[in-house]
Each structure stands twice: as C-alpha cells, then as structure tokens.
Chains A and B, each alone.
Chain A
Amino acid sequence: MFKKLRMVMEAAFYNFRFWKGNARIMAVFILSFILCFLLTDKIVVFAKAHETTMQLMEAFIWTFGDSNSILLSSLLLLLLYADMPFITGATPFFLVRASRKTWVLGQLVYIILSTGIYLLFTLISTCLLCAPYSFTKNIWSQTAAILAYSEEGKALVLPASVKTLEMSRPYQSMMSIFMLMMLYVLTMVFIMMVFNIWKGTVAGVLSVLVFSSYGVLLNPEHLQKLLKLPEEFYYKAKVFIGWISPLNHATYYMHNFGYDKLPTLRQTVFIFIGSIVFLTLLTMRVTKKFSFVFRGTES
C-alpha cells in the first residue's frame, strides 16, 4: 500500500520537473496575472473614484464570485494541460514498475496539485494587484458596503450581494470561493482527462468547451431575456438552474444562505466531490484500454 502510494506521488511529482524553464507554463501564469488585472480593474477604479479602501480579499471575492470570471480563469487551464495525459520519456518505466492504475492516479494527483498552485497564484495575484488600496483586517470595507447597498454595485455588474456581506466575513468568504473554484475547475479538468484518454486530445478540448458553454447558456439572466419570463418564473428558473448548472454551483452568491431554495455550500461540495470521484473511476476504467504511443516507437 505504502509502495503504491509512493509510486503515485512519484508519478505526480515527476510532471513538475517539466515546469522549469517551460515557456508554456510561464505563459499560463503571466496570462493569469494579466487576467486578474483586467478583472480587478473595475473594482479598483471604483474604489479610487470613491476614495475608499478595500479589504485585501475583497477584490478576489467580488471578482471570482462572478461566474464569467470563473469561466475565463478556468479556460486558461486548457493551456496548462495542453499536453494531457502527460506521456513523457519516463512513462514506459512507470508502467513497467507499476500498474496503469497507479500511473493514472499519479496524473490525477498532479492535476489536483497543479490546479491548487494555479488557483493559489490567482488569489495571490489578485491580492498583490489590489495591495496598494487594501487593508488586512477581517472586516468588510466601505467599498464593499457601497457596492452592496447602493445601485452602483449593480451598475458595475459586481456580485457584491447583501447576503454575502451579512452571512460571513472576508477571509471565510474567500475560502468558500476558493474551494468552489477549485472543485469546479477539477471537475472540468477531470472531464478533459477522461475524454483525452478515451477519444484523444481534440475530444478533450471539445469536452471542456461543451462543459463551459453549458454553464454559460444556463444563465438565469440570459434565459429571462431569451424566453421573456415573468418575475415569478424567473425566480423558479433561477433556483432550477442553480441546481443543474455546474457554473452556478461554483458561483458563491448562487447558494442558499437561508433565504431561498438554492443549493447550500455543503450540498454543492458533495455534488462536486461525487462528480470528481465518479470521473476518477471513469478515468481508471478508460485507461485500461488506452494505447500508449511513445515518441520514437511509431512505425
């Protein structure tokens, strides 16, 4: 058991060796930093205009509490995992010494670790970019109050809802949003992994695009405009979509904080973890039939 676990970890950590001096990996992190700048620009300009400060985590909360930002940030991972299923020169040796199952588990552990690093980098970038206008104490700022309790927040399309402010504090909200993003992104990447192994790279990329489009299309605002739904139906549609759309599950303010019938954070975590476990089992199953092709062995 311990030997197997060691092999899984070795297969996972071996992939990190390719990060050193890798232009693609560097590009992903720099683009993520630029994306954070572009996404936080609205809130920083707002705070500057009102001459107010922000809590250090608020920029992350308002930015990644929005489904579009989560979607944009997650799509950058397509570049990070462009070489999926990570077949390297060491793969034949891993397969000789351990089973396919151990190898693929190693790849999944690598995905979890690298996604964690990527999201941590996103969080730190957002904090660094807003640091000149921020404080660290665990209380909501004046900027947040203006955004939540006035019409200006709605005009800026920032999800600074009153319920977020009243139900928790900045660091706790940040942790919830980080966890939701992590689970959503892992679900997306695991789907990509299944399709990559099962049907090839193109199918992997297409599966991510379909998964993301499904989330975008199931937006209550879009549906209301499209189907011209009255207010009472809009609420029902919002609750229904809150349950069936993975992107809405990843959106913090689309959860039940005691006001409505949307999924609670705990239910969302269970749904995502359930999906991830199912996708892990599916990946292990499809790996059994996966035909490995190593460079230099093609006839």
Chain B
Amino acid sequence: MLRYDTRRAFSFRWLYLGSFCIVILACISRLDVIREVWETVELLEPGWTMSFVIETLCGEILLFILPVLSTLPFSSSFIDEWKAGMTRQAVSRIEKRTYLRSKAIVTALSGGFILSVGSLCLLIVSMVVFLPIEQSVTDTVMDNKPVQSYIALFARYFVCGALWAETGLFFSTLFNHRFLAWLSPFMIYYLLIIFHERYFEWCFVLYPKEWLIPERQWGFDNWSICLWLLALTALAGWGFIKVGERRLASV
C-alpha cells in the first residue's frame, strides 16, 4: 500500500462522515421506537440495546445507503488521478502494478472501514443513551448471543463495504467515468436484488440482503458469507487491475 493512498483514504473526515451518516440514518429509521422509549417510564428489558443496534443495522434505510456510503472515501481515486494527470507522475516513480494494487487494497479497506466505524459508533451512541435505562443483568443469566451476533454483523459490514467500494472502483475505471464510482454499486445492488426476487429465488448467494441478514445456512456459523464476499471483492479488485493496466499501457 502506498502511503499517500492510505493517508487520503483513512483521513478523519471519512471517519466523521461514516459515523455521522450511519447514526443519523439509524435514528431516522427507528424514530418510532426511540419515541416509544422516550415516553415510557419503565426500564428496558436486559439486552434491549444490543438487539436495537442489530435490528437498526439490518434496517431497510441503512441497507439502501450502504453501497453509496462505502464508495465515498476512495472509489473514485483512480479516475480522479487519471483525469488530473497525476497518474503519469506516480507511475514514473513506482511500478504500474504496485500503483494499481495499492489502489485496489486501499479502496477495499476504506470502504470496509467507513461502514464498520459507523456501525461501531452506532453501538457506542446507543449504549450511552439506552444502557442507563436498561434493567441490570445481575439478577438474570448473562446472554452473550447478541454480542456474538453484533461481532458477526460488524465483520459482514466490513466486507460488504469493501465489496461495494471495489465495485465502484472497477466500474469507474472501466467506463472512465467518475460518477459511476458512486452510482455503480447502488445499481449493482438493486440489479442483484431484482435478479433474486423476481427471477432466481434459489440463487441466494448473489442476494445482497442475504449477505447482511442471512436466513439460510451458509456454513461455519454464517462466517462463510465473509469468505464469499472477500472472494467477490478479490474478483472486483483483479478486474480493476486488468482494466487499469490496459488504461496505463499508453502512459
């Protein structure tokens, strides 16, 4: 990974943006629940906060925005540098393949980073707000299943972000269009949903909602979803490197 890529992709503004967008959208999507909690005088059931976070992270509004949000930090990086003429300067100092590989890896990491940091921020905010009004777990048996579910969801958020960011990078490079870096993951997301919901219901491995909210058995206690998404991310990254090499051939 090149240092100037990591410095741009992991700057604090993306951290703030990811956290802010996910927390705000989560609040908007669960406004009725929050109002209900606000109006009630009784303490919440033990484990309520964790299930609230998990349900919110699997909500329609967040699923809708994730493909776009993950592309914001770095998906348009190659096309931006290419159009600004910076690529020529970069490939005169480093190998083309190293340059492209760095872009592919950093884009995937940045996409995963923005979503996972956002989900973590939602957890922290929810704990600060709701945990004080939740019943204590001292008199009941501590159930750590929601914590495990959250950790699994956190990992799936990370790989989903990586996949969508990499998809944006691939399509923007393929069509030489900056706009597609943000729009293509959104379009692919919906085309895959259409593919599954209207035509091939048996093909659940290509159903984006199944990746985040698995309803079928995926093996290894659903951890194989992460492996599958990593394989898809690697495929998109490989595609980007091939297209990028073709584009850089004349430089």
Which residues of A are in contact with B by a Cβ distance under 8 Å? 21, 23-24, 26-27, 30-31, 33-34, 37-38, 44, 129, 132
B190 touches A37 (CB 8 A): yes
B179 touches A27 (CB 8 A): yes
Measured between alpha carbons, how far is A38 from B186 in the docked complex, in Å? 13
- Nearest-neighbor residue (CB-CB) of B171 within chain A: A23
A132 touches B199 (CB 8 A): yes
Indicate the size class of the contact surface on chain B: 10 to 19
| Minimum CB–CB distance for A3 against chain B, Å | 38
A23 touches B175 (CB 8 A): yes
Does B93 interact with chain A (Cβ within 8 Å)?
no
**Chain B residues, CB < 8 A from A30:** 187, 191
Does B125 interact with chain A (Cβ within 8 Å)?
no
| Minimum CB–CB distance for A31 against chain B, Å | 7
A24 touches B198 (CB 8 A): no
Measured between alpha carbons, how far is A129 from B198 in the docked complex, in Å? 7
| Known interface pairs A23-B177, A30-B187, A129-B198; 12 further A-B residue pairs with C-beta atoms within 8 A, sorted by A's residue number | A23-B175, A23-B179, A27-B179, A27-B183, A30-B191, A31-B187, A33-B191, A34-B187, A37-B190, A37-B198, A129-B194, A132-B198
Measured between alpha carbons, how far is A24 from B198 in the docked complex, in Å? 26
- Nearest-neighbor residue (CB-CB) of A41 within chain B: B197
B191 touches A34 (CB 8 A): yes
**Chain A residues, CB < 8 A from B15:** none
Measured between alpha carbons, how far is A220 from B47 in the docked complex, in Å? 47
Helix, strand, loop or mixed for chain B's interface? Answer: helix
| Minimum CB–CB distance for A262 against chain B, Å | 35
CB < 8 Å A-B pair total = 32
List CB contacts (< 8 Å) of B159-198 with chain A. Answer: 175-177, 179-180, 183, 187, 190-191, 193-194, 198
A34 touches B190 (CB 8 A): yes
**Chain A residues, CB < 8 A from B193:** 37
- Nearest-neighbor residue (CB-CB) of A44 within chain B: B198
- Nearest-neighbor residue (CB-CB) of B183 within chain A: A27
| Minimum CB–CB distance for A167 against chain B, Å | 31
Most buried by A among B176, B177, B180, B194: B194
Query: Lowest 3 A-B CB distances belong to which pairs?
Result: A23-B177, A23-B175, A34-B190
**Chain A residues, CB < 8 A from B180:** 23, 27
22 A-B pairs, CB-CB below 8 angstroms? A21-B175, A23-B175, A23-B176, A23-B179, A23-B180, A24-B177, A26-B175, A27-B179, A27-B180, A27-B183, A30-B187, A33-B191, A34-B187, A34-B190, A34-B191, A34-B194, A37-B190, A37-B194, A37-B198, A44-B198, A129-B198, A132-B198
Measured between alpha carbons, how far is A21 from B177 in the docked complex, in Å? 11
Measured between alpha carbons, how far is A197 from B2 in the docked complex, in Å? 47
B194 touches A27 (CB 8 A): no
Measured between alpha carbons, how far is A129 from B179 in the docked complex, in Å? 27
Most buried by A among B179, B198, B199: B198
Measured between alpha carbons, how far is A31 from B187 in the docked complex, in Å? 7
Measured between alpha carbons, how far is A44 from B179 in the docked complex, in Å? 32
Measured between alpha carbons, how far is A44 from B183 in the docked complex, in Å? 26
| Minimum CB–CB distance for A23 against chain B, Å | 4
**Chain B residues, CB < 8 A from A132:** 198-199
**Chain B residues, CB < 8 A from A44:** 198
**Chain B residues, CB < 8 A from A24:** 177, 179
- Nearest-neighbor residue (CB-CB) of A34 within chain B: B190
**Chain A residues, CB < 8 A from B187:** 27, 30-31, 34
- Nearest-neighbor residue (CB-CB) of B188 within chain A: A30
| Minimum CB–CB distance for B32 against chain A, Å | 19
| Minimum CB–CB distance for B63 against chain A, Å | 13
Measured between alpha carbons, how far is A34 from B175 in the docked complex, in Å? 20
Measured between alpha carbons, how far is A256 from B175 in the docked complex, in Å? 48
- Nearest-neighbor residue (CB-CB) of B175 within chain A: A23
Measured between alpha carbons, how far is A40 from B190 in the docked complex, in Å? 14
Measured between alpha carbons, how far is A117 from B191 in the docked complex, in Å? 21
| Minimum CB–CB distance for A40 against chain B, Å | 9
| Minimum CB–CB distance for B54 against chain A, Å | 25
| Minimum CB–CB distance for B136 against chain A, Å | 42
**Chain A residues, CB < 8 A from B179:** 23-24, 27
**Chain A residues, CB < 8 A from B191:** 30, 33-34
**Chain B residues, CB < 8 A from A129:** 194, 198
Measured between alpha carbons, how far is A129 from B187 in the docked complex, in Å? 16
**Chain A residues, CB < 8 A from B176:** 23
Measured between alpha carbons, how far is A236 from B176 in the docked complex, in Å? 55
Measured between alpha carbons, how far is A44 from B199 in the docked complex, in Å? 12
| Minimum CB–CB distance for B203 against chain A, Å | 14
**Chain B residues, CB < 8 A from A34:** 187, 190-191, 194
List CB contacts (< 8 Å) of B72-94 with chain A. Answer: none
